[in-house]
Structure 1
Amino acid sequence: MKFGIYYSYWEQEWSADCLPYVERVAKLGFDVIEIAAHHLNNYSASHLDEIGRCARDNGILLTAGLGPSEACNLSSADADVRKAGRAFFEETLQNIAKLDIHIIGGALHSYWPVDFNKPLDKTEDWKRGVEGIASLADFAADLDINLCIEVLNRFENHVINTAEEGVKFVTETGKSNVKVMLDTFHMNIEEDSFGAAIRTAGPLLGHFHTGEANRRVPGKGRLPWHEIGTALREVNYTGAVVMEPFVKSGGQVGKDIRVWRDLSNNADQQKMDDDARESLNFSRFVLQG
């Protein structure tokens, strides 16, 4: 397993530049940094080159996360929105390929966060999502990119909420580079068993996020990390394990994640770094065995 962290742990805006964090996570001992793909299309070619060069110089692998906007929803009932989504994804995938990124995960099949005040049709959204991802998969495969479909909790998405649904969705695409993505925060809400969910995903598990039930760093809560690690080893998972903690309120990040209080105990930047490093050591110990 390779262990990483999502750089928005330190930020309040999704649009924040990831470059300053590449060397930072390397010094903390991580193997991987996950970056937000939302705004890569606004980066200049030279800035993309700089990010890629910094990652190579520091021995850091890059992965990407994405919660598409409603205007880029591949499962929309509006054909124009689906068309815009396809154009957005093609541009985004080409840019992450320039960074030697081979994994992009998130609600790729839908949009995030879902507006539950609008009418929903899970059956039709599922059908259009499968069609959109299956169509996009060949384009991604030509760039050597896996599309990892995240299983989200009921309060953030309505299409895929469990590992079982994730496996069914991915299987229906019929594409080998479409995988299941699990996240312990969402699993804590939806799954009867962490271990059973991971075993259900099995060889289709392409990406894995970690975080406590309240979104603190792993090791500062109550999740059954030994059970999670045992299951990951049983399915021979060798991919990235990326912690995705959100502990600071404020900004668009705090609003979208619903962080309404400071979960860091008023940590300064040094304490944030220390907590991340300690959680990394904890994660390696309990998940790798």
Structure 2
Amino acid sequence: MTHATPQPAPNPPSRNLLGVHALVWVGDTSREGIEFAVTRTAETGYDLLELSLHGLDGLDTAHARSTIEAAGLKVACSRGLSLDADVSHEDPAVVERGAKLLKSSIEKTAAMGGTVLTGGLFSAFCKYARPVSPRGRANAVAVLKDLSKDAAALGVTLGLEVVNRYETHVINTAAQALVLADEIGADNVMVHLDTYHMNIEEDDFVRPLHLVGDRLGYVHIGENHRGPLGSGHIDFTGFFHALDDISYAGPITFESFSSAVVAEQLSGDLAIWRNLWADGEALARQAIAFTRAQIEAARARPSSPRRG
């Protein structure tokens, strides 16, 4: 009788980078704001800082890169578009402005040492009055197909963040994001899921992750009311179990907004009408502890693919 030679258990995937959005700390991307956000991010134990690129003109990328690297952090960037620079518009001039803005954002991301630019890269950040038109959708696909080549040359991956119906008319569910990604057809385009938006649009917090699988490249975790993790009704247990089911090894970034910190214009865009918190440091420390506990609990399950 022969016996199979025992094989060593595979090493579990490397742990996820844990990130925090800079708007937990500051409402701008000035040199002083970047220094403050980087310091607080490192001190609270995060691995990655996400920067919103809505204020490109005031962002000193060389300073940001040196500050981030000196703190031993990684950086990811995100943004949305405006109505006058909407790549899902039917007017070629409007589409061209959006394409130029996205190209600049890709270059800024790479200049800071980032490898991910994500967000609503496919439309303006607003509530539309009607669904995207076939021509508008074709314009968005064409722009992102071209820009994916520029991004690849700079080592940047583009994320399609699935956001709710009040913020885009292009993709609101994980299934729709996969269709859009297929239409773009680039290896450096991935899906980005966010629990805040999933709470509005998806049936649950498990099946969308199973559907996306290894095409999931970035994750936002946030409560249904944008407040502290665990203080709302998001099913984080199911969500983190599903992340573990698909062996997700990408970044997990905490996102929360309060009008006490977010700049006035962006606060209006995000409809942040109340102060859900005032102490960003306490919020961030609670969030990273909560996230680590969820990851550990999911991996400790007897059925976990990461077990052993």
Distance 1:272 1:39, change over 3 A: closer
Counterpart among 100, 107, 110 of residue 123 in structure 2: 110
Deviation at 1:174, TM superposition (A): 0.8
Counterpart among 61, 64, 67 of residue 74 in structure 2: 61
Amino acid at match of 2:41: V
1:207 and 2:218 are equivalent in the alignment: yes
State the secondary structure of the residue aligned to 2:223: coil
Aligned counterpart, 1:153: 164
Aligned counterpart, 1:132: 143
For 1:210 and 1:62, locate their aligned partners in 2 and report how far apart those are by CA, in whole Å: 17
Q: How does 1:135-214 map to 2 (within 5 A)?
A: 135-214=146-225
For 2:102 and 2:56, locate their aligned partners in 1 and report how far apart those are by CA, in whole Å: 11
Structure with the largest fraction of helix: 1
Deviation at 1:122, TM superposition (A): 4.1
Deviation at 1:193, TM superposition (A): 1.3
**Is there any run of 5+ residues in structure 2 with no aligned partner, and where?**
1-15, 299-308
User: What is the root-mean-square deviation in Å for CA atoms of aligned residues?
Assistant: 1.9
For 1:237 and 1:102, locate their aligned partners in 2 and report how far apart those are by CA, in whole Å: 17
The normalised TM-score by structure 2 is 0.85
1:90 and 2:76 are equivalent in the alignment: no
Q: How many residues align?
A: 279
Between the aligned residues of both structures, percent identity stands at 29
Deviation at 1:287, TM superposition (A): 2.9
Counterpart among 8, 17, 30 of residue 2 in structure 1: 17
Ranges of 4+ aligned residues in structure 1 off by more than 6 Å? none
1:285 and 2:299 are equivalent in the alignment: no
Q: Is the 8 A contact 2:29 2:58 kept in 1?
A: no
Deviation at 1:20, TM superposition (A): 2.0
For 2:106 and 2:154, locate their aligned partners in 1 and report how far apart those are by CA, in whole Å: 8
Distance 1:38 1:262, change over 3 A: closer
Aligned counterpart, 1:27: 43
Alpha-carbon displacement from aligned partner over 1:10-55 (angstroms, at most 9, x marks no partner): 3445779433211111001111110011223443xxx322211111
Q: Is the 8 A contact 2:38 2:49 kept in 1?
A: yes
For 1:176 and 1:97, locate their aligned partners in 2 and report how far apart those are by CA, in whole Å: 18
Amino acid at match of 1:90: K
Q: Is the 8 A contact 1:66 1:106 kept in 2?
A: yes
Greater mean alpha carbon deviation, residues 48-57 or residues 204-213: 48-57
For 1:258 and 1:7, locate their aligned partners in 2 and report how far apart those are by CA, in whole Å: 18
Deviation at 1:216, TM superposition (A): 1.0
Q: Is the 8 A contact 2:88 2:132 kept in 1?
A: no
Q: Is the 8 A contact 1:76 1:128 kept in 2?
A: yes
**Is there any run of 5+ residues in structure 1 with no aligned partner, and where?**
none
Q: Is the 8 A contact 2:82 2:124 kept in 1?
A: yes
Greater mean alpha carbon deviation, residues 95-104 or residues 68-77: 68-77
Amino acid at match of 2:290: F
State the secondary structure of the residue aligned to 1:94: helix
Aligned counterpart, 1:73: 86
Please tell me whether Structure 1 or Structure 2 has the larger radius of gyration of its CA atoms: 2
For 2:78 and 2:67, locate their aligned partners in 1 and report how far apart those are by CA, in whole Å: 19
Deviation at 1:120, TM superposition (A): 4.7
